[in-house]
């Protein structure tokens, strides 16, 4: 079973449209991160949210952490072709030895058509 469920799996929209993608879990997290991955490259961190109900904005991207810290959403306003990529959410969970490790959802593959 996947710790983090992302939806939708695929999303294809026209330039200028708005969209929201989701990251859900039954577990509570101390924080959650969003990464974007472009073809042929590794994921790059966009934002970290740490407080329940927190909203962070990064230009046209708005990230929200659920009040119960089990879920998060990413909203993009007026999408542009440069927003195309795989959007991954990630959260920390217990690792061996009592430390923590970062696990990822499967991602939402976004295509913005000109």
Which positions touch another protein (CB under 8 A)? 2, 30-31, 33, 40-45, 48, 50, 88, 92, 95-97, 99-107
Q: Could you tell me the smallest distance in angstroms from the CB atom of residue 1 to another protein?
A: 12
Decide whether 14 or 103 has the Cβ nearer to another protein.
103
DSSP 38-62: -TTS--EEEEEE-STT-EEEETTEE
Decide whether 10 or 80 has the Cβ nearer to another protein.
10
Q: Could you tell me the smallest distance in angstroms from the CB atom of residue 92 to another protein?
A: 6
Could you tell me the sign of the dihedral formed by the alpha carbons of 101, 37, 35, 88, in that order?
negative
Decide whether 40 or 114 has the Cβ nearer to another protein.
40
Q: Could you tell me the smallest distance in angstroms from the CB atom of residue 27 to another protein?
A: 16
Backbone angles phi, psi at 108, to 5 degrees: -115, 120
Q: Could you tell me the smallest distance in angstroms from the CB atom of residue 8 to another protein?
A: 14
């Amino acid at each position: 079973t996947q710790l983090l469920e992302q939806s939708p799996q695929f999303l294809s929209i026209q330039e200028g449209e708005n969209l929201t993608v989701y990251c859900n879990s039954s577990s509570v997290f101390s924080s959650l991160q969003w990464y974007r991955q472009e073809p042929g490259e590794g994921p790059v961190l966009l934002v970290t949210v740490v407080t329940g109900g927190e909203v962070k904005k990064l230009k046209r991207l708005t990230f929200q952490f659920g009040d119960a810290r089990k879920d998060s959403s990413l909203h993009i306003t007026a999408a542009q072709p440069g927003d195309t990529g795989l959007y991954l959410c990630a959260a920390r969970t217990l690792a061996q030895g009592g430390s923590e490790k970062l696990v990822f959802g499967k991602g939402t593959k976004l295509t913005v058509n000109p």
